[in-house]
Amino acid sequence: MENNHLTFSDFLSYVSRNSGMLWEYFVQHITMVVIGLGLAVVVGVPLGILCSKNKWAAKVILFITNILQVVPSLAMLVVLMLWLGLGMKTVMVGLFLYSLNPITRNTYVGLKQVDPSYLESGKGIGMSPLQLLVKVRFPLSLTYIMSGLRIAAVIAIGVVTIAPLVGGGGLGREIYAGLNTNNPLRIFAGAIPAAMLAIVADIVLGILQRKLDLSKRKSSAAAQAPAKIQNIG
| CB 224 within 8 Å of CB 118 | yes
122-150 average pLDDT score: 85
- Kindly report the backbone phi and psi dihedral angles of residue 2, in degrees, each rounded to the nearest multiple of 5, phi listed first: -85, 110
| CB 110 within 8 Å of CB 143 | yes
Radius of gyration of the chain (CA): 22
Helix axes 19-53, 184-232, angle to 10 degrees: 30
Residue 214: pLDDT over 80: no
Query: What domains are there in the chain, each with its CATH number?
Result: 12-232 (1.10.3720.10)
**Residue in 196, 115, 82, 198 with CA at minimum distance from that of residue 151:** 198
**Residue in 45, 39, 36, 231 with CA at minimum distance from that of residue 146:** 45
Residue type, 9: S
H-only helix segments in 18-72: 19-53, 55-70
CA distance 198 to 156: 9
pLDDT the model gives residue 2 = 46
Q: What is the chain's mean pLDDT, rounded? A: 86
Query: pLDDT of 72-124, one tens digit each?
Result: 888 899 999 999 988 899 999 999 999 999 999 999 999 988 888 877 887 88
Q: Which helix (H) or strand (E) holds 189?
A: helix 184-232
Percent of the chain with pLDDT over 70: 89
